[in-house]
Amino acid sequence: MTAYKLRGKIALGTLMKLRHLLSAAVIALAACATAEPPAAPDIAAFNSPALSADALMGHIRVLASDEFEGRAPGTEGEGLTVEYLQRAYEAAGLEPGVTLADGSRSWVQETQLTAATLTNTPTLTIAGRGGARDYAYATQFSAWTRRLDPTIDIENAPLVFVGYGVNAPELGWNDYEGIDVRGKIVVMLINDPDFETGDDRGFGGRAMTYYGRWTYKFEEAGRQGAAGAIIIHETAPASYPWAVIQSSTNSARWDVVRADRGASRAGFEGWVTTEVAMETFRRAGLDFNRLKARAQTRGFRAVPMGTLRGSLELQTSTQTRTTSNVIGVLPGAERPDETIIYTAHWDHLGRCPAIQGDDICNGALDNATGTAALIELARRFSAGGRPQRSVAFIALTAEEQGLLGALYYMQNPVFAPRTTVAAINMDGISNFGPTRDIEVVGFGKSEMDDLITWAMEAQGRRVAPDSSPEAGYFYRSDHLHFAQLGIPVLYTSNGIDMVEGGVERGAALNAVYVANNYHKPSDEVTDQWDMSGGVQDLEALYAVGRRLADGEMWPQWRENAEFRGAREASQR
Ligand SMILES: [Zn+2]
């Protein structure tokens, strides 16, 4: 769920090779028509020790083909993808990464997901001074539940403004201090308390921390026992318009199966527009801007919203689906219990709203590129000699549904977090040609920065820090759940300083991708694709992993990183 910066030219030589590849892939695809999943492109054809753009393209073309139907979890597309990955991992010299209860090994870590679909069109009613006011679903508010109850019926629950809804003991900040919100509806602001203050009040100033993410705010509201939790949408601190919220109001809400059936979550979670919030504060006799300013100061205390009471009824039908993380490992020769992990999500949106008659969101860039990179890196590690430590390759499911494959892994780690040296996540590999830089999302959090800087300098290239820290992209892809296990993570996105055309062209290509292709049926392979820049980036990520796999280094989190505590805890 991150934005990408992508476009480029393609060489004739490569085209000839591709044509040969294509015929191999097409033959494989023809096989698919008879339900026989396509064989992985012939890995032996790419026995050069170096990473190969052709090999990447071979995998991408198959994974992003219409046959794979946009690789939605729990669909035929998943079956083809998982089968393809297993064959490719095996051909790349990996071993099955999962040990089952009976001691046997498997390539897959199965997980159950639930999909809750609203069966009614809810109305949010806020009653109090001036009578009851009804708000319309999707245009004025959104709401869903993480509880596996078919009916959620909240009636006349008091509203409480809890500022940014943060409880950060390590920062001495608790917006829930001194108030009991059980049975109430909490109303809160998006992003961090110091996002708009121009200074750092402990949350890194403009850069978003995990406390600024909606996922954290709803988790905390659940921990506090709230009956309902509402975030006020404001475009700048949210870093996306209301349209993004509205677009998810007609799709199922996915989740991992929770042991408590979601009882530890608020009865409902959702957003209201700025306008609805303004009107509600006025009706409560409260000044929104003054309270927002107070919420940005240390020592803020929650404010009951006058006599206002909120009511909402949700009817949901829930289905479960089985889906899989696909895990292969190259066991270490010396210290096999110490592991470096590469991750990439293999899933995408599947069938999506049609554009010009095309309703398959192929997810070529997002993230057939990263999935192909897992296979190519596995082949590269095998070809480069068995490392001292183990290297694992995890293709994660259901990233598009909320990082759920990674969340399931976090709850059921296959490799002990304590002895996991680092994790490197790939979500979108550059397809628009060589750049002079690479961007490190979340730059400044750990010593992984030093390793990627070393690898880039060896290539005569440079690292660019996160270009939009305020958007919190660090918290919007799978590495987040590995970081929450305390594992130092590296997540790069392609640089924009193009060898041909500089930053101007890079930024333009990015803007075109985000506007035209991101999460659309047109995210497909075209003749403009050029993976040579992506290969350079992957060589740098390979160098980082190889150095760790053949060394004794344990990269550390920086002093102020919010995941440092989790690492220390895992080491005890
Ligand atoms: Zn993605």
Spacing, Cα 3 to ligand 1 middle (Å): 9
125 and 174 together in one domain? yes
Per-residue DSSP letters for 149-161?
-SEEEEEEEEEEE
Per-residue pLDDT of 341-396, as tens digits, reads: 999 999 999 998 899 999 999 999 999 999 999 999 999 999 999 999 999 999 99
Looking at the structure, do residues 231 and 269 belong to the same domain, yes or no?
yes
Q: Which pLDDT score, from 0 to 100, does residue 572 have?
A: 85
Q: Which contacts qualify for 195-199: CB closer than 8 Å, 24 or more apart? A: 195/237, 195/470, 196/236, 196/237, 196/296, 197/296
Structure tokens at 49: 């020790």
- The residue to which tokens 């003991």 are assigned: 169
Q: How far is the CA of 338 from the centre of ligand 1 (A)?
A: 28
Ligand 1 centroid–CA 519 distance in Å is 9
Single out the residue in 290, 318, 346 at which a domain terminates.
Answer: 318
Output Rg (C-alpha) for the chain, integer angstroms: 24
CATH code, domain carrying 51: 3.40.630.10
The tens digit of pLDDT for each residue in 477-522 reads: 999 999 999 999 999 999 999 999 999 999 999 999 988 998 999 9
Residues of the chain with pLDDT under 70: 1-49
Both structure tokens of 163: 């500022």
Residue 430 alpha carbon to ligand 1 centre in Å: 13
- What angle separates helix 532-549 from helix 448-458, to the nearest 10 degrees? 120
CATH number at residue 207: 3.50.30.30
Cα(164) to ligand 1 centroid in Å equals 28
β-pair partners for 143: 270
Ligand 1 center–CA 482 separation, angstroms = 16
Domain residues for the domain of 533 are 39-93+331-570
Same domain flag for 356 and 423 = yes
- Give dist(CA 42, CA 50) in Å, integer: 16
Query: Ligand 1: distance of its center to the CA of 399 in Å?
Result: 7
CA 400–ligand 1 middle distance (angstroms): 7
Domain assignment present for 110: no
What is residue 83's predicted lDDT score, i.e. its pLDDT? Answer: 97
Residues 313, 341: one domain? Answer: no
Instruction: Please state at what angle helix 12-33 crosses helix 53-63, rounded to 10 degrees.
Output: 30
Distance, in Å, from the CA atom of 305 to the CA atom of 163, rounded to the nearest integer, reads: 12
- pLDDT tens sequence across 204-231: 888 888 999 999 999 999 999 999 999 9
Regarding whether 339 and 239 lie in a shared domain, the answer is no
- Same domain? 173 vs 68: no
Who contacts 252 (Cβ-Cβ below 8 Å, separation ≥6)? 115, 116, 117
The contacts of residue 130 (CB under 8 Å, 6+ apart) are: 283
- Dist. CA 327–CA 155, nearest whole Å: 46
DSSP string, 429-495: ---B--BSEEEETTTTSBTHHHHHHHHHHHTT-EEEE-S-GGGTGGGSSTHHHHHTTT--EEEEEE-
Last residue of a domain, one of 318, 349, 378: 318
CA distance readout (Å), 448 to 338, 479, 489, 548, 557: 17, 13, 7, 10, 8
Q: How far apart are CA 225 and CA 267, in angstroms?
A: 9
* Contact between residue 502 and residue 479 where contact means Cβ atoms under 8 Å apart: no
Helix axes 532-549, 369-383, angle to 10 degrees: 50
What pLDDT sits at residue 53? 94
User: 439 C-alpha to center of ligand 1: Å?
Assistant: 16
**Quick one: pLDDT at residue 47?**
52
257 in any annotated domain:
yes
Distance CA 539, CA 380 (A): 9
Same structural domain, 357 and 413: yes
* 252 and 360 housed in the same domain: no
Give the pLDDT confidence score for residue 416 in this predicted structure. 97
Residue 19 lies in a domain: no
- pLDDT value, residue 27: 42
Cα torsion angle, 538, 484, 204, 244, sign: positive
User: Could you give phi then psi for residue 378, rounded to 5 degrees?
Assistant: -60, -45
Residue 27 lies in a domain: no
Helix (H) or strand (E) holding 304: strand 303-330
Ligand 1: distance of its center to the CA of 345 in Å?
7
C-alpha 366 – ligand 1 centre gap (Å): 5
Q: Distance from the CA of 298 to the center of ligand 1, in angstroms?
A: 36
DSSP letter for each residue of 109-146 = EEEEEEEEEE-S--EEEEEETTEEEEEEBTTTEEEE--
pLDDT of residue 15: 43
Predicted TM-score (pTM) of this structure: 0.87
Number of domains in the chain: 2
Is residue 389 in a domain? Answer: yes
Q: How many residues belong to the chain?
A: 572
Alpha-carbon gap, residue 400 to 254, rounded angstroms: 10
How confident is the model at residue 42, as a pLDDT?
A: 54
Residues 277 and 426 in one domain: no
Domain boundary among 297, 318, 339: 318
Q: Tell me how crowded residue 248 is: count the other CB atoms within 10 A of its CB.
A: 13
Distance between CA 527 and CA 15 in Å, rounded?
9
Assess contact for 549 and 387: CB atoms under 8 A. yes
* CA 60 / ligand 1 centre spacing (Å): 14
Q: Are strands 303-330 and 151-161 parallel, antiparallel or unpaired?
A: antiparallel
| 9 within domain boundaries | no
- Distance, in Å, from the CA atom of 308 to the CA atom of 16, rounded to the nearest integer, reads 69
Same domain, 187 and 132: yes
pLDDT for the residue 250 = 79
What is the maximum alpha-carbon separation in the chain? Answer: 75
Matching residue, tokens 């806020």: 126
Determine the 3-state secondary structure of 416 from DSSP. Answer: coil
Phi and psi (nearest 5°) for 217? -65, -40
The β-bridge partners of 128 are 131
Is the distance from CB of 406 to CB of 427 less than 8 angstroms? no
Same domain, 275 and 340: no
Q: How close is the Cα of 461 to the center of ligand 1, in Å? A: 25
**Residue indicated by tokens 């527009």:** 273
Is 21 domain-assigned?
no
Q: Is residue 103 part of a domain?
A: no
Asked whether residue 193 falls in the same domain as residue 231, the answer is yes
The CA distance from 350 to 202, in Å, is 41
* CA–CA dist 46, 258 (Å, integer): 43
